Structure 1
Amino acid sequence: MALGKVSVNNLNLGQGAVTEIERYFLFIGPGAKSVGSLIPLNTDSDLDVMLGVQPSDLKTQVTAAMANGGDRWACLAAPINADGEWADALEMAQQQGFSVEAAVITKPVTAAAELSAMHDAAIAINNTYGRRLFVMASTAGIAAELLWSEYLTEQKAITKDLAAPRVLVVPQLHGNDLGVLAGRLANAAVSIADTPMRVASGAVLGLGPVPKDEEGVPLPSAIRSELDKARFSVSQTYPDYPGVFWGDGNMLDAPASDFQVVEYLRLSDKAARQVRPLLIQRVGDRRLNNTPNSMAAAASAFKKPLRVMAKSAKFAGQVFPGEIESPKDGDIVIVWHTKTKVEVYIKVKPLNCPKDLTANIALDLSNDDSE
């Protein structure tokens, strides 16, 4: 004999959105106020109140980032003492649960070992907290007693033979270059798939005065070009075209690697952040198994965030592309190594992007008159 029973359960199918942290940066540097604190900032923030009235390295870069970040810009600031350690502030932010896309360390570095330590810190954060971030670092601008050739030699020595794929370094040629680039990368009007080189994004705003060397020579374009070859990220101009723009966001990655520019790393990291919760939800869930139906359902689920990233829009006769190409069959591969260990391979394909354009013009001297 038995009695009737009725139960209603809510099933969590893992179909919700994943919180995005893209464009949210942590600025760490010497500050005049609130040292040792983590300060959220946005476009409504009064930086004199939040970071102090006195000038500071941190405030200078945050000001430039705010100017270039658009109307949705926001960041987290961590003021430290002049002799403080950026690593302590970065770890404190992680311990307090702040997820950021990038850490912007404003105090200029002078040696490759410092950049290598920043890369190691980014890797350690991923290992410990499962959070992916990259680091934006800076080097000093030209000193008054140096010629441009001497400055170039000094700078190239810092990045020579260094492999730090999660570090981007900006020479402070105008005094606030780092903040300008950080704001440009954080602007919500531009996709994370876009290079900071993109001219259609507009000229940079609030860049400091043009630097000069000991002989009074203003910054030559050749120096910018050589710094770019040395994997620094620098501003650039186009002759007879108004405005100052930016070059590539160069990462300190090895030649022939996949992540030599920041937009490729940002796309890969975003895809990883979107997929990670989907993997966590499937731990110990026998609905994911090696049957054909289960494998197909899992591949479709892992493909969903890629389809969202690939979504484009058409407006006024123009197509505004998504962040990546639409995923195709075979872009998700699931492999069972044992009865309990599964590995997922995911292909993310960026769209082509023109960075070197050439027009070839030929004369047509034919006689079109009919005879």
Structure 2
Amino acid sequence: MALPKITVNALNLQQGPFPTVEKYLLFIGVAATNVGELLFLNTDSDLDVELGEADSELKRQLIAARQNAGENWAAVAAPVANGALWDPVVDMAMNENVKVEGIVICTPVNQASDYTAMQTKAVNIMAQYGRRVFFIGAARAIDSETESWSEYITAINDLTDTLSADRVSPVPYIFDDAVGIIAGRLCNSGVSVADTPMRVETGPLVGQDQTTLPVDKDGVRYNMAHAKALNDQRFSVPSFFPDYPGVFWSDAQTLDAPAGDYQVLENLRVVDKAARAVRLVLIGLIGNRRFNSTPTGEAWAINKLMRPLREMSKSTVFQGIPFPAELKPPVEGDIVITWITREKVEVFMKARPFEIPKEITANIVLDLSDPTA
């Protein structure tokens, strides 16, 4: 006869929240205080204490980022000495387990190979740590004493010509805090990772206006012709509308190849967010026989893998106003599983972002018909 035996197992079904790094950036730039340290900052931080009372490249960008991001802003800063390389600082941050969505290089690049190095570093970080990051890389400002806008635009175009780097967004210093401004707009609490910094409803740039737009050696003020020329060369720049107050922004372009899916940063960010969560789900599926080639096993795995997409697709309509999610809701067929061998499986997933109006044309016609006819 058997003896009575009771066993109670508390099963971990991995239903907890996914950790997030979105809207959390690492800034690297020149400052006089705490050189070589990693500083963890938020809206309460005293930047005069952390970075010194004097103006500096890094402090200027962090002030702009904080102003344009608004409440709940937080970031990591790494002050460096003038002339120091950013590459070892990124390595130090990664080794210290600093997890961020993107890395902002505040010191202007000198040559196209610097942007290539950022792309290479992003790929290497993904390979070594499984972390997905993008880079915002500064380009130099115009020399208003010696350069015309034509000379300036022609000169910095050499930085992006022929490059293919879908994890790098180049930003010239049209304003002296331009890099911080766009970093702040990307981290604004009122927008999601699926939003473009072009979004007018986010509000105009904080800290700058049309009177502060720079001039060249001939006194010609930056205008939308210059913005278009830089935008055509894949730079992310300030923009504005005639007879409309405030200065806004263009797309956060990347250096992706023509016809690439990731030519704008919002496409990269939304897929990266999904991929970070999916990676954690996949790790939990390793060695789990519930995930097998039977219809039941595949359906169970698909349901697990759908979770990040479902969480990113929760839209709201309030008083007739739509508040779209980051992705459209997943539907049947958006995840397909293929068994290569008994132990090797390949998963294909579809993430579908919402459309964004970036060029709008309105057509108005007269109705001269006789209302009494």
1:238 paired with 2:271, answer no
Query: Deviations 1:269-323 (Å, cap 9, x if unpaired)?
Result: 0000010011101111111110110100110110111011010112122121111
Distance 1:135 1:49 in 2: 27
Query: Deviations 1:82-104 (Å, cap 9, x if unpaired)?
Result: 12111111111111111100000
State the 4+ residue runs in structure 1 displaced beyond 3 angstroms.
Answer: none
1:335 paired with 2:332, answer no
Distance 1:50 1:3 in 2: 68
1:367 paired with 2:373, answer no
1:320 paired with 2:323, answer yes
Task: Name the counterpart of 2:151.
Answer: 150
Query: Deviations 1:110-141 (Å, cap 9, x if unpaired)?
Result: 21100000010000000000000000001111
1:277 to 273, 277, 280: 280
Shift of 1:179: 0.3
Distance 2:232 2:332 in 1: 38
The Cα RMSD (Å) is 1.0
- Whether the 8 Å CA contact 1:180–1:207 is kept in 2: the answer is no
Shift of 1:241: 1.0
- Whether the 8 Å CA contact 1:172–1:178 is kept in 2: the answer is yes
- Whether the 8 Å CA contact 2:174–2:238 is kept in 1: the answer is no
Write out aligned runs for 1:172-191 (5 A): 172-191=173-192
Task: Name the counterpart of 2:27.
Answer: 27
Write out aligned runs for 1:187-266 (5 A): 187-207=188-208, 209-266=212-269
Shift of 1:171: 0.4
- Whether the 8 Å CA contact 1:105–1:137 is kept in 2: the answer is yes
Task: Name the counterpart of 2:167.
Answer: 166
Query: Deviations 1:235-285 (Å, cap 9, x if unpaired)?
Result: 100011111111111000000010000000001100000100111011111
Segments of structure 1 that go 5 or more residues without pairing to the other structure are none
| DSSP 3-state at the match of 1:214 | coil
Task: Name the counterpart of 1:296.
Answer: 299
State the identity as a percent: 48
Task: Name the counterpart of 1:98.
Answer: 98
- Whether the 8 Å CA contact 1:140–1:172 is kept in 2: the answer is yes
In the superposition, the TM-score normalised over structure 1's length comes to 0.98
Shift of 1:368: 2.3
Shift of 1:5: 2.3
Segments of structure 2 that go 5 or more residues without pairing to the other structure are none
- Whether the 8 Å CA contact 1:176–1:207 is kept in 2: the answer is no
| DSSP 3-state at the match of 1:180 | helix
Shift of 1:2: 4.0
User: Which AA in structure 1 matches 2:191?
Assistant: V
Distance 1:15 1:93 in 2: 30
User: Which AA in structure 1 matches 2:317?
Assistant: K
User: Which AA in structure 1 matches 2:84?
Assistant: G
Task: Name the counterpart of 1:109.
Answer: 109
Distance 2:200 2:159 in 1: 29
